[in-house]
Structure 1
Amino acid sequence: MSSPLQFAVFGHPIAHSLSPPIHQAFARQFGIELAYRTIDAPPSTFADAVKHFFDHEGGRGANVTLPHKAAAFALADEHTQAAARVGTANVLTRRPDGGLVAHNTDGAGMVRDLTERHGIDLRGHDTLMLGAGGAARGVAWSLFDAGVATLTIVNRTPAAADALADAIGEPARVHTRYWEELGNIGSYDLIVNATSAGTLGQSFTLPFSLAASRALCYDLGYGKSAVGFLAWARAANALYAYDGLGMLIETAADAFELWHGKRPDTEPVYQSLRAQGS
């Protein structure tokens, strides 16, 4: 009997990941047998861990989460247009010649979750992005594709926010502000938490004045990592407060289609995980 196809998600930390059950649920829809596991790799060993997985463990594809998305992009031999635009990767696929291809489906997954699952029209939104790392880069361009009016980027390290703004190249619509200014920069229709604070167990306090009367607040994380931000959003009377579970499932579906050539139905998986308290 042939052994199952090998897939994995790389991150640090990664034990909390829901990617393994999501991919197993997708595989059951098509009767595909696969092995999908988490691989915890600190930055110092990430490149070696990826190489070992693909070269010696029969790896067919991998998802990549923080803090490795920029490193995954740098590691690849080829980059899709979406990955090249943002400079980070959340999916790696293997070419027949053994080379790795970097993909980035983060932004498309987030927009699909908001517009298709939650029925949100993003056009015309004044948007605040908290964070400027790999997660923020992954979704920034897609927000413009979806029609947001402006994007203000705030990061604890201002240079990273400035670098992201420069990369987007829309000086009339993209602005950066200092974290210390959050209390007096006005209110926003869409607030995206792209920081790693929740995942790392850190808390941060935000002024309620950031949330406009009909604000949509969205955390790119999910589960425990999103609890603090969503609690703030509700206390700030935001109209909508969503975590990134739907985005995770949508990006997983993109990866699954890249690897297997089949598009899974995401909604039953989303509803099942929500019912389980995820």
Structure 2
Amino acid sequence: MTDTYAVFGNPINHSKSPYIHRHFAEQTGEPIAYTKQQVPEGEFEPAAETFFAQGGKGLNVTVPFKLDAYRYAARLTPRARRAGAVNTLALEPDGTVLGDNTDGIGMVNDMHNLGWELAGKRVLILGAGGAVRGILPPLMEQKPASLTIANRTLHKAEQLAKGFADLGAITPAGFESLEGQQFDLVINGTSASLGGDLPPLPESLLAPGACCYDLMYGAEPTVFLQWAEAHGAEKRADGLGMLVGQAAESFYLWRQIRPEVIPVITELRRKLSAKKGA
């Protein structure tokens, strides 16, 4: 019997989730069908109700519905509760719907696949929005030496630092106060680089051997990754591996089987490059 899954979003045409999960299904032999559905804003709950009532087993949730999914879930995993947002819904055997957030663990697993060491590193996160909330708990579990959140609006960084203080010391900062500091890992959690914008970063921000990671991805390096290369970052990566990693974690939640991510990342990267060259 084939189980049905889907991704809800608005817009949704660009979503690579059906492609990713089709690969996972072929790879693991799991009998699943996976579609994408554009949901009108304000109608997430009835759409989810209909999906599960018609036999759906699980949903991925993307912009702008992660808060709606958080409210919809009957039960939340600890990491979803901490993130305050849900990107994965799973129908439980008792008929209740569990909400999870797999974004952060998707990013951390991608960094491990890249061979990046996180323990004992000085970490800087740029931005203090919802995406950053999702990555903070798994990141803090890696025991970095320090973690700083820099944001244009200092108050938002301070709120995040306070809200996650029980996980360890998090330092809020404005961009101007980064002058004179150096970091081993810099993560861009803003979407600004997709629009060609970049926070004002000091020239000497990167420590020797530093790694730079952008949660966004594209056919071309983002503006942030271009800045990283120009300023001597030893290793750079965009968020394509995180996208596949969070999907793999969703697949595991649904099917209790962990698919291989590297072949899917490689194929998606090839398709992005082909589109760029077309």
TM-score normalised by the chain length of structure 2? 0.86
1:242 aligns with 2:243: no
Q: Which runs of 5+ in 1 are unaligned?
A: none
What CA distance in whole angstroms lies between the structure 1 residues aligned with 2:103 and 2:28? 24
What CA distance in whole angstroms lies between the structure 2 residues aligned with 1:226 and 1:15? 22
What CA distance in whole angstroms lies between the structure 2 residues aligned with 1:6 and 1:93? 11
**Alpha-carbon spacing, 1:172–1:78, altered in 2? closer, same or farther (3 Å):** closer
What CA distance in whole angstroms lies between the structure 1 residues aligned with 2:28 and 2:265? 17
* Paired position in structure 2 for 1:18: 16
1:216 corresponds to which of 211, 217, 232: 211
1:84 aligns with 2:81: yes
**Alpha-carbon spacing, 1:25–1:171, altered in 2? closer, same or farther (3 Å):** closer
Q: Which runs of 5+ in 2 are unaligned?
A: 274-278
Q: Which amino acid aligns with 2:237?
A: Y
What CA distance in whole angstroms lies between the structure 2 residues aligned with 1:16 and 1:247? 16
* Paired position in structure 1 for 2:155: 159
1:138 aligns with 2:126: no
Deviation, 1:31, is 3.0
Q: 1:72-221 maps to which residues of 2 (within 5 A)?
A: 72-115=69-112, 117-169=113-165, 173-179=169-175, 181=176, 184=179, 186-198=181-193, 201=195, 203-207=197-201, 208-221=203-216
Q: 1:250-269 maps to which residues of 2 (within 5 A)?
A: 250-269=245-264
2:68 corresponds to which of 68, 71, 78: 71
* Paired position in structure 1 for 2:276: none
What CA distance in whole angstroms lies between the structure 1 residues aligned with 2:116 and 2:166? 24
1:229 aligns with 2:227: no
User: Is the 2:129–2:189 contact (alpha carbons within 8 Å) kept by the matching residues of 1?
Assistant: yes
User: Matched residue of 2:222: which SS?
Assistant: helix
Deviation, 1:270, is 2.0
TM-score normalised by the chain length of structure 1? 0.86
What CA distance in whole angstroms lies between the structure 1 residues aligned with 2:149 and 2:95? 38
Deviation, 1:205, is 4.3
User: Is the 2:79–2:137 contact (alpha carbons within 8 Å) kept by the matching residues of 1?
Assistant: no
The number of residue pairs the alignment matches comes to 272
Deviation, 1:61, is 0.8
Single out whichever of 47-56 and 96-105 deviates more from structure 2.
Answer: 47-56
**Alpha-carbon spacing, 1:277–1:182, altered in 2? closer, same or farther (3 Å):** farther
Q: RMSD of the alignment, in Å?
A: 2.5
What CA distance in whole angstroms lies between the structure 2 residues aligned with 1:40 and 1:224? 24
Runs of 4+ with deviation above 4 angstroms: none
* Overall identity of the aligned pairs, in %: 42
